[in-house]
Chains A and B, each alone.
Chain A
Amino acid sequence: MYAWAGKILHIDLAKKKTWTEELRKELGARFLGARGINAKLLWDLIRKPGIDPFSPENVLIFGAGTLTGTVAPSSGRTTITCIGAATGLYLKTNMGGHWGAELKFAGYDHIILHGASKSPVYIWVHDDVVEIEDASHLWGLNVRETDETLKRDLGDREIKIACIGPAGENLVRFAAVMNSVYHAAGRGGAGAVMGSKRLKAIAVRGAGEIAVADPNKFYELALSARIDLSKDPEAIKLYNTGTAGGMEVINEIGALPCYNFQTGNVKDAYPISGECLVEQGYLDRRVGCFGCTVSCHRYCTIKEGPYTGIYTGGPEYESTVSLGGGTGVFKTDVVIKANELCNIMGLDTISCGSVIQWAMESFERGVLTKEDTDGIELTFGNSEALIDLIPVIAFRKGKIGDLLAEGVKRAAEKIGKDSWKWAICNSKGLEQSRVETRAAKAYALAFAVNPRGPDHLHTECIAEFGGTPTRISLIEKITGDKKWATPYRTEYRAEIVRWHEDCYAVTDSLGFCAFSSTAAYAVNPGIMAQLFSAATGVNITEKEIMLIGRKIVTLEKCFNVREGADRRLDDLPWRLMHEPAPSGPTKGFMNSPEELNGMLDKYYTLHGWDLKTSWPYKETLEVLELKEVADELQVLNKLPKREKP
């Protein structure tokens, strides 16, 4: 077997049994790896709709990329797939760090966790030996403590650990799975699903090797891709100032979502920017995931003031905007501290910040009172409240902790009084990432159709902003005209979204980082096809690999169709659909239902999906060689009645 380790590890946590299954080359050729194969495995393993995310019948699947563990640039990522805790729908969530590569060296591409343990356990995978161990001494420990304790107990500092913190244990619906301490599979609550299985950690150590079909060719391609990526201006920016670099520009154009999306433009965004971390001496090191040439990850420490001695990975753009700008706390040290708390509690910073912002707005509008907040003065800009609330949420302490741990959709349903109007999630139930979609129309469409809910990690569409020759030429390649490289137009957004969907699915499946293919563009689909071919010996063209990307996206869509989802769930947060952007050059912009529906019609048509239900036509599924999926949907009466027009 080339590139793939060749084995899927099954673990039944209820019966305490483990077994391996061969990863057949045909499966790899059909679904590539990581995200793609995970999607197929989840489709096959979940046989009936309506399973609760916390039921033992839910499965949790880890998958390392096809090229993870090799020298291909920025290819060390891992995808986790399950029924998500936030939405009860399809969830794929993805993490960097070093865990995936270690899994491959241990001899596995995927781990599938079945059932649930009665008492806390951890799993220790070292090459052929897989042990399910008691984790009662780890339960309750935070992520950093868990990592350090396990490495000490097992006597090896180089073990890589994926684990949950208290948030996952307490089934907080936006709990993350963390690995290499600070690298999160944050979105959608995979950490809570892991917690529901009472699985604290998966420790991995691998002494094995990964062979590739044509080592010389592969090395030559990888080396040239590394050099191209290292010269890419976007990649250089990410190295220098991280994902939070250039924030002042976003603020100037009025697209920095602050105060729970009530404004896109604030007086001073500098304290929460990547430039500030560098210039004010918070940044100690730039950190790379496995094999990465970009190294956008940060390591920051606080050297003075009340939080002296605090150290943590990050903060990244989404974290500083969600925990800082969104809550009105423009203080660098407070944001770093809040980010550290989320990291060690194992919380998704986007959702955690979002739910706190929702509570702050509710409090200021009198919808939540001090009685509801257990006495916390929950106003925007209140640093202390922000810092106090994070562990309260992670441990579901008191009335407010338990309420907010459910996420904004459920919290707003419980509180009522119009509070859903400022709950920044869509009908699927996931909190939106901090992107001002009112002023970025391809993003808006991509967010609405994302199977896991509105965020940028299914289909990143930075190219629509234009501004650089690479972005503009990509838009020209997709639409035929470079004039469509503007985020304010709705024309050709369906085409732009679909190209990025395909590309992103390939990126995730091979283990690449989106920053290498859809922010910087050095690792383009052509390069990915060549690297895949040289590594696996399965020869494939750019066109073919993009079509596999589409197959993966369509299969993910079908999972939600089987769960009962239809067009009504492909929407955006109420505020963004009904309240115009309030300030700056984007003032007046909105994702009105009419505008969104227009883009959705075009998108579904392009895909060969029914306009009324959004379900894929039988013919569409057959073209993508998803016949078994079509057959199953037919039985469930989930194929559109009408034939494809």
Chain B
Amino acid sequence: MSSRVLFLDLDACTGCRACMVACSLVKEKVFSLGDARIWIPKMESICLSVPIICEQCDPAPCKTVCPTKAIARNAETGALLVDPDKCIGCKECVWACPFGAISVRKGVAVKCDLCDGQPECAKVCVPGAIRYVDMDRSAIEKRWKSLERRIKALTAII
């Protein structure tokens, strides 16, 4: 299994949302905020933007609750992938996800699949708020800290 993860840096995010439209283009061949697998909620009066994306949790609540076992982990990238043939669109995973990183479109759950190990959101993020990094011990700690801070920020703005 890959030891790389998407690291989201609250302090570096400028809220430009290029990641969102890059994601939608790669996944759906159109530019759209609604089709993106990454979400950048913003509080515009304090210019605060909080990047939210699937953390590929382990253990993963979405995988656990799925009644049809449609969500499985890819051995190469570590990404949790939805099998559209098995998915019945029941939204159990949407409710189970602590980050709001899954949605259901056209009857099928959609979420970040790490673009098979080449995440486009990280490619277009010039300020470096989305980085695809090796997950060594210090990175894991940093990732938890980043998560804590983002959740705190999110609570403040929503």
Footprint of B on A, CB under 8 Å? Answer: 69-71, 73, 76, 98, 101, 105, 144, 147-148, 157-158, 180-182, 206-212, 215, 219, 223, 226, 229-230, 239, 284-293, 295, 297, 299, 311, 313
Contact = CB atoms under 8 A, between A and B. Distances in A.
B124 A70 contact: no
Contacts of A182: 44, 47
Contact of B47 (A158, A209, A287): A287
B17 interface: yes
Q: How large is the interface on B (under 10, 10 to 19, 20 to 34, 35 or more residues)?
A: 20 to 34
A422 to B, nearest CB: 37
B104 to A, nearest CB: 15
Given A70-B21, A288-B14, 20 more contacts: A71-B18, A71-B25, A73-B126, A147-B44, A148-B45, A157-B157, A181-B44, A206-B33, A209-B35, A210-B31, A215-B29, A219-B22, A219-B25, A223-B123, A223-B124, A287-B15, A287-B47, A290-B16, A295-B126, A299-B47
A278 B3 CA distance: 36
A210 B30 contact: yes
Contacts of B47: 181-182, 284-285, 287, 297, 299, 313
Interface string B18-38: 100110111011111111000
B30 A230 contact: no
B42 A158 contact: yes
Nearest to A230: B126
B16 A289 contact: yes
B14 A292 contact: yes
B25 A215 contact: yes
A180 B44 contact: yes
B135 interface: no
Contacts of B35: 209
B33 A295 contact: no
Indicate the member of B22, B26, B44, B158 with the most A CB atoms within 10 Å: B44
B43 interface: yes
28 contacts: A70-B21, A70-B25, A71-B22, A71-B25, A71-B31, A76-B16, A147-B44, A157-B42, A158-B41, A158-B42, A180-B44, A181-B44, A209-B34, A209-B35, A211-B30, A226-B124, A226-B126, A229-B126, A230-B126, A285-B14, A285-B47, A286-B14, A286-B127, A288-B14, A289-B16, A290-B17, A291-B18, A293-B16
B48 interface: yes
Interface in B109-157: 123-124, 126-127, 157
A71 B29 contact: no
Contacts of A212: 31
B46 interface: yes
A226 B126 CA distance: 8
A465 B26 CA distance: 41
Given A144-B45, A158-B42, A209 B28 contact: yes
Contacts of A285: 11, 14, 47-48
B32 A209 contact: yes
Nearest to B129: A288
B43 A291 contact: no
